[in-house]
């Protein structure tokens, strides 16, 4: 949820000058960022900035904002599930796996939808930027590491929710202490003398 500015050298060497954090709901607008961090009086026409790219980013504003909110919801709900699990452990209370599974399922759903949006943006949006920016030497790349990280998070939370759900279902079938008929009889009752 940040962006960086810098200089791209002749041999594609990047020199980063600084990075800037954003607030939620996050969406990146390169036009606004360039104008904000350029010297006064610099226009985008002087930089040969393609107006189609500005339109592309504006068209995807709601999508990227939705993605950032879903990431936050998924992360917060997973954190709540961890706090609930630790609370049960510290209180030495019986673990309510159904509650834990519900939180984790909600988290994996939210993270999964955000990851789908991120994946689509990574491929389709990047190719759109490259198409519109080709004449002006504006290009975009997607991050392999980010996609790997987001899908790994989805897989881990989904695995945890399925595991908790299975243990909750199995545990219900075995709830309560088991007694044999012999243990339930009062002492001396039913035994021949």
Residue pLDDT, tens place only, 158-182: 998 888 888 878 766 555 554 444 5
In a domain, 61, yes or no: no
In a domain, 181, yes or no: no
Backbone angles phi, psi at 121, to 5 degrees: -60, -40
User: Per-residue pLDDT for the chain (193 aa), expressed as one digit of tens each?
Assistant: 567 777 766 666 777 777 877 777 777 777 777 777 666 656 666 666 777 877 887 888 888 888 889 999 999 999 998 888 888 778 877 767 778 888 888 999 999 999 999 898 888 888 888 888 887 777 788 778 888 999 999 999 999 888 888 887 876 655 555 444 455 555 555 555 5
In a domain, 165, yes or no: yes
| Tally of structural domains, the chain | 1
Give residue-wise pLDDT tens across range 95-114: 677 788 888 889 999 999 99
In a domain, 96, yes or no: yes
In a domain, 123, yes or no: yes
pTM over 0.75: no
In a domain, 2, yes or no: no
- The domain of 101 spans 66-173
């Amino acid at each position: 949820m940040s962006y960086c500015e810098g200089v791209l050298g002749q041999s594609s060497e990047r020199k980063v000058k600084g990075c800037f954090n954003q607030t939620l709901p996050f969406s990146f607008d390169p036009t606004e960022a360039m104008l904000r961090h350029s010297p006064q009086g610099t226009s985008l026409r002087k930089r040969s900035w393609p107006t189609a790219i500005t339109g592309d980013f504006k068209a995807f504003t709601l999508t990227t904002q939705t993605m950032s909110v879903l990431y936050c919801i998924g992360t917060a709900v997973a954190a709540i599930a961890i706090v609930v699990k630790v609370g049960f452990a510290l209180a030495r209370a019986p673990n309510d796996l159904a509650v834990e599974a519900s939180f984790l399922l909600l988290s994996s759903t939210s993270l999964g939808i955000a990851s789908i949006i991120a994946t689509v943006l990574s491929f389709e949006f990047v190719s759109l930027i490259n198409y519109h920016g080709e004449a002006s030497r504006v290009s975009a790349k997607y991050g392999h590491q980010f996609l790997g990280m987001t899908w790994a998070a989805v897989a881990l939370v989904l695995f945890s929710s399925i595991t908790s759900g299975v243990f909750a279902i199995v545990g219900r079938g075995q709830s309560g202490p088991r007694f044999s008929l012999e243990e339930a009889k009062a002492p001396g009752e039913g035994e021949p003398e």
